[in-house]
Amino acid sequence: MHKAIHITHYISVCIFLAIYFVKTILLISNKEDTLTKFSKKIKIPEMIVSFLFLATGIYLLIQLQEIKMLLIIKIALVFLSIPIAVIGFKKRNKILGALSLLMITASFGLAEIAAKQTAKISKEAVAEDGTIKGAVLYQDNCVLCHGDNGKLGMSGAADISKTQMSQDSIRQVVLNGKGMMAKIQGLTPEQAAAIAAYVNTSIKGK
Query: What is the contact surface with ligand HEC in residues (CB under 6 A)?
Result: 117, 141-142, 144-146, 155-158, 160, 163, 165, 170, 173-174, 178-181, 184, 195, 199
Q: Closer to ligand HEC by CB, 9 or 146: give it.
A: 146
Which residue has the CB atom at the shortest distance from ligand HEC? 179
Least distance from C-beta 36 to ligand HEC, angstroms? 44
Residues ≥6 apart with Cβ < 8 Å to 76: none
Least distance from C-beta 34 to ligand HEC, angstroms? 42
- Which pairing describes strands 117-118 and 184-185: parallel, antiparallel, or unpaired? parallel
Q: Closer to ligand HEC by CB, 30 or 176: give it.
A: 176
Q: Closer to ligand HEC by CB, 104 or 160: give it.
A: 160
Q: Closer to ligand HEC by CB, 5 or 180: give it.
A: 180
Least distance from C-beta 113 to ligand HEC, angstroms? 15
Residues ≥6 apart with Cβ < 8 Å to 193: 171
Q: Closer to ligand HEC by CB, 54 or 154: give it.
A: 154
Asked if 97 and 23 count as a contact pair (C-beta separation under 8 A), the reply is yes
- DSSP calls for 127-188: -TTS-B-HHHHHHHHTHHHH-TTS---GGG---GGG----HHHHHHHHHH-BTTBPPEET--
d(CA 120, CA 34): 53
Least distance from C-beta 181 to ligand HEC, angstroms? 3
